[in-house]
């Protein structure tokens, strides 16, 4: 938990109010819960760029998050307003990634907000991007808003492949850290735009010692690299091929691995919510691989995969509770 300290000393004057909680929260998100100068995570203090004795205000544009050491140095060394503003608009969380960006495959993620288009401001957009960048430990420049839809605002974000997988996995499992960073930002759910989270696994023999695992239907948001990454946890794949069924217009992926790797890979995917997706194995594959699998992870026909996707109830429920509290207040 990040500790917050006010700029005032212990014997502060009674006519100096505390920095409003909402201003503190937004400032913390802005810097990724780290000192804007050195990146120290805690304790953090709210420092005024224009001294309090002059401004007599706690304006968000006039405050910056600093650790105790940098705050003291700023005062003693007289850094001045120009220097502090440079740190405010280019904090450590952004500078640490300078020159480290590498090209990689990207994915799109859908974020639904309990806001209408009129209520959604550039500040909301900025805070959401900063919060997600802090959680995923990536520069804010790697998060791009691809589209904004009306109604309950739906943002389509473009993220690096691994970051998108990490975000959906965290949302699916109800990550406390993610929920804390998104607190007060009106986020109701985070999901893949294709809204198709169930994937079937088939298996067939290939030669004497190898097995072909077929994954279908393969949603647009699940890339070949994702499943190859899982296979590599247990052994190097013999071959990988992706195809599209012209009749049913669905994509599928076939990975050839050893018999032992195939079993370990299937068990892993059934036990984990990989990339925020759930996997089911066909009865024929259970029998062929001699697997011990709970009945609720087994399917007989492809039609069993075609059920509506449920968004993560933990994150959504928490967001709705927070909105209700704000409404009551």
Render pLDDT for 213-240 as a digit per residue (tens, 0 to 9).
999 888 777 788 888 888 888 988 988 8
Tell me: pLDDT of 317 over 90: no
| Mean per-residue pLDDT of the chain | 79
Q: What pLDDT shows up at residue 64?
A: 92
Which two tokens mark 280? 């089911």
Q: What pLDDT shows up at residue 257?
A: 92
Question: Can you give the three-state secondary structure of 17-74, one letter per residue?
Answer: CCCCHHHHHHHHHHCCCCCCCCCCCCCEEEEECCCHHHHCCCCHHHEEEEEHHHHHHH
Tell me the pLDDT band of 42, cut-offs 50, 70 and 90. Answer: low
Q: Specify the domain boundaries for CATH 3.30.70 within the chain.
A: 106-194+311-328, 198-305
Tell me: pLDDT of 8 over 70: no
Q: What pLDDT shows up at residue 246?
A: 59
CA distances for 221 relative to 32, 78, 199, 214, angstroms: 27, 51, 12, 17
Tell me: pLDDT of 247 over 60: no
Tell me the pLDDT band of 13, cut-offs 50, 70 and 90. Answer: very low
Residues pairing with 108 in the sheet? 158
Tell me: pLDDT of 128 over 80: yes
For residues 307 and 180, is the Cβ–Cβ distance under 8 A? no
Domain 106-194+311-328: which CATH class?
alpha beta
Q: What pLDDT shows up at residue 290?
A: 93
pTM comes to 0.62
**78-82, 137-141, 255-259: which range is least confident on average?**
137-141
Tell me the pLDDT band of 209, cut-offs 50, 70 and 90. Answer: confident
Mean pLDDT of 302-322: 47
Tell me: pLDDT of 323 over 60: no
* Right CATH for 198-305 from 3.40.50, 3.30.70, 2.60.40, 1.10.3470: 3.30.70
Q: What pLDDT shows up at residue 306?
A: 58
Phi, psi of 198 (to 5 degrees): -105, 125
Mean pLDDT of 179-196: 85
Tell me the pLDDT band of 1, cut-offs 50, 70 and 90. Answer: very low
Q: What pLDDT shows up at residue 91?
A: 85
């Amino acid at each position: 938990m990040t500790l917050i300290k006010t700029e005032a000393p212990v014997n502060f004057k009674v006519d100096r109010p505390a920095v409003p909680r909402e201003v503190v929260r937004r400032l913390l998100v802005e810097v990724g819960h780290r000192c804007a100068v050195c990146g120290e995570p805690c304790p953090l203090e709210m420092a005024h760029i224009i001294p309090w004795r002059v401004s007599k205000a706690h304006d968000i544009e006039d405050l910056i998050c600093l650790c105790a050491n940098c705050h003291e140095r700023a005062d003693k060394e007289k850094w001045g307003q120009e220097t502090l503003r440079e740190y405010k608009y280019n904090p450590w969380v952004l500078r640490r990634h300078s020159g480290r960006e590498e090209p990689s495959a990207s994915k799109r993620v859908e974020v639904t907000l309990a806001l209408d288009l009129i209520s959604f401001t550039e500040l909301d957009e900025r805070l959401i991007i900063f919060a997600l960048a802090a959680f995923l430990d990536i520069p804010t420049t790697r998060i791009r808003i691809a589209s904004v839809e009306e109604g309950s605002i739906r943002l389509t974000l473009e993220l690096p492949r691994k970051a998108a997988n990490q975000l959906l996995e965290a949302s699916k499992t109800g990550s406390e850290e993610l929920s804390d960073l998104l607190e007060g930002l009106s986020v109701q759910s985070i999901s893949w735009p294709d809204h198709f989270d169930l994937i079937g696994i088939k298996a067939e023999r290939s030669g004497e010692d190898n097995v072909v695992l077929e994954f279908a239907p393969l949603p647009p948001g699940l890339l070949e690299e994702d499943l190859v990454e899982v296979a590599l946890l247990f052994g190097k794949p013999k071959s990988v091929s992706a195809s599209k069924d012209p009749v049913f217009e669905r994509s599928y992926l076939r990975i050839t691995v050893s018999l032992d790797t195939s079993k370990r890979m299937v068990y892993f995917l059934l036990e984990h919510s990989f990339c925020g997706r759930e996997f089911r194995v066909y009865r024929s594959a259970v029998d062929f691989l001699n697997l011990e699998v709970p009945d609720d992870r087994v399917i007989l026909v492809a039609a069993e995969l075609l059920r509506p996707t449920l968004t993560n109830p933990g994150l959504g429920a928490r967001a709705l509770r927070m909105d209700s509290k704000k409404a009551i207040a």
